[in-house]
């Protein structure tokens, strides 16, 4: 009994120490975003003497031309929300068609979706830019540095994994449900939106979380498509462009980082279980 108690105590201590180490960077961001530049030079690990400095730093950063927090936050929000809604609706629709029709074509299309999950962004990013540029000059629809362009791109890139996850789920929904609706005179689109779509909710949450975190944190795609100093900036792009123009001004950079972290941390506090569950599910599938 004594040995067991001691072991539990050791586990407690170890867990605690690791948690402190893991959370340390966040703590350092917090304390240093409440210091002036000079104070950071003196000591980056001392507690701030005047927490009011944080407000000064924040307002400096928020109103900064390169960062413009609220605008970037709104852009990130808009891009993420619209991409996710479209992605959920369209990939559920596609996955339903692909899993309910056992024809050669639907198999081929599904296989293409699945194998495309291997394609890294790097191999398509350069031709993507030129394809979009060509598309814009040909049709007059602005695709680069515009919301519709980047949302369209996220729809395309997120599509294959979403279809894959949803497809696996729809396969297990009994087909009799649809037949019953069909006999009662429901149209195919009615069957989908009234019966199948609501049943997909648990797996849609997984798709939502996986894609949401990816779109929200993505840097490379928006930096290429919107430009580092373009009119529209997402938060990661804004942070990067801010760092580029305020090299080594750590008080401001850390305040910017702090502001960029806040939304996700708050979201995590509220939806911790769903987020962890969603990300694990996504990896296992």
Partner 1 sequence: MKTKKPMAIGLLILGIVSILLALYLDVTNLQLSYNLTAKTSFSINGMLLIIGALLVIVGMYTFPTRKHKKIINILFLFPLLFSFAVTVLVPFGFGIFYSMTDWNGIDFNKFVGIANYVTMFKSADYLYSLLITVIFTVVNMILVNFAAFALALLCTSKVKGKSFYQAAYFLPNLIGGIVLGYVWQFIFNKVFTTVIAGSDSMLTDPNLAMVAILIVSTWQYAGYIMMIYLTGLTSVPKDVLEAANVDGANSWTTLLKIKVPMIANTFTICIFLTLVNSFKQFDLNLAITNGAPARVLGEKIIQSTEFLALNIYNTAIGKNQYALGQTKAVVFFVILAAVSLTQVSISKKREVEM
Q: Which of residues 122-161 bind partner 1 (CB under 8 A)?
A: 122-131, 133, 135, 138-142, 152-153, 155-157, 159-160
C-alpha–C-alpha distance, residues 42 and 260, integer Å = 26
59 vs 101 by CB, closer to partner 1: 101
Whether the Cβ atoms of residue 208 and residue 88 lie closer than 8 Å to each other? yes
Among the listed residues 162, 172, 161, 64, the one whose alpha carbon sits nearest the alpha carbon of residue 116: 161
- Which residue in this structure is represented by tokens 């395309």? 156
Q: Does 75 bind partner 1 (CB under 8 A)?
A: no
Instruction: Indicate the Cα dihedral angle 71, 139, 215, 61, nearest 10°.
Output: -20
Q: Does 15 bind partner 1 (CB under 8 A)?
A: yes
Q: Which stretch binds partner 1 (CB under 8 A): 64-72, 172-180, 183-191, 196-204?
A: 183-191
What DSSP state is assigned to residue 63? Answer: T
State the nearest-atom distance from the C-beta of 24 to partner 1, in Å: 8
* Contact residue for partner 1 among 34, 69, 254, 255 (CB under 8 A): 254
CA distances (Å), origin 265, targets 9, 181, 258: 30, 43, 10
State the nearest-atom distance from the C-beta of 185 to partner 1, in Å: 13
Q: Count residues near partner 1 (CB under 8 A).
A: 91
Q: Does 26 bind partner 1 (CB under 8 A)?
A: yes
Q: Does 85 bind partner 1 (CB under 8 A)?
A: no
R_g of the chain, CA atoms, integer Å = 24
Q: Does 58 bind partner 1 (CB under 8 A)?
A: no
Q: Does 61 bind partner 1 (CB under 8 A)?
A: no
Q: Does 188 bind partner 1 (CB under 8 A)?
A: yes
Contacts of partner 1 in 90-109 (CB under 8 A): 90-91, 93-94, 96-98, 101, 109
65 vs 122 by CB, closer to partner 1: 122
* Contact residue for partner 1 among 120, 174, 185, 198 (CB under 8 A): 120
Q: Does 113 bind partner 1 (CB under 8 A)?
A: yes
Instruction: Indicate the Cα dihedral angle 214, 219, 221, 226, nearest 10°.
Output: 130
Contacts of partner 1 in 208-237 (CB under 8 A): 213, 216-220, 224, 235-236
* Contact residue for partner 1 among 22, 38, 47, 183 (CB under 8 A): 22
Whether the Cβ atoms of residue 86 and residue 155 lie closer than 8 Å to each other? yes
Q: How many CB atoms lie within 10 A of CB 165?
A: 19
Handedness of CA 238, 241, 244, 247 (dihedral sign): negative
Q: Which structure tokens are listed for 132?
A: 């979009």
Whether the Cβ atoms of residue 217 and residue 242 lie closer than 8 Å to each other? no
70 vs 182 by CB, closer to partner 1: 182
């Amino acid at each position: 009994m004594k040995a067991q108690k001691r072991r539990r105590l050791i586990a407690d201590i170890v867990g605690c120490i690791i948690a402190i180490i893991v959370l340390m960077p966040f703590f350092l961001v917090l304390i240093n975003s409440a210091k002036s530049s000079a104070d950071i030079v003196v000591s980056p690990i001392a507690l701030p003497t005047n927490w009011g400095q944080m407000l000064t730093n924040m307002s400096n950063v928020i109103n900064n031309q390169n960062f413009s927090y609220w605008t970037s936050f709104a852009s990130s929000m808009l891009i993420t929300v619209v991409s996710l809604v479209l992605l959920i609706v369209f990939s559920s629709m596609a996955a339903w068609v692909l899993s309910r029709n056992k024809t050669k074509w639907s198999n081929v299309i599904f296989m293409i979706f699945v194998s495309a999950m291997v394609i890294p962004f790097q191999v398509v990013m350069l031709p993507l830019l030129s394809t979009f540029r060509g598309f814009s000059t040909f049709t007059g629809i602005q695709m680069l540095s515009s919301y519709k362009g980047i949302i369209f791109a996220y729809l395309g890139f997120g599509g294959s994994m979403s279809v894959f996850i949803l497809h696996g789920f729809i396969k297990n929904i009994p087909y009799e449900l649809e037949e019953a609706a069909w006999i009662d005179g429901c149209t195919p689109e009615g069957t989908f939106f009234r019966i199948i779509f609501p049943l997909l909710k648990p797996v849609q949450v997984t798709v939502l979380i996986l894609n949401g975190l990816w779109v929200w944190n993505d840097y490379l795609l928006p930096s290429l498509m919107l430009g580092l100093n373009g009119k529209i900036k997402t938060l990661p792009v804004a942070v990067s462009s801010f760092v580029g123009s305020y090299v080594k001004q750590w008080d401001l950079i850390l305040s910017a980082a702090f502001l960029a972290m806040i939304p996700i941390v708050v979201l995590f506090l509220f939806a911790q279980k769903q987020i962890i569950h969603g990300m694990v599910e996504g990896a296992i599938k």
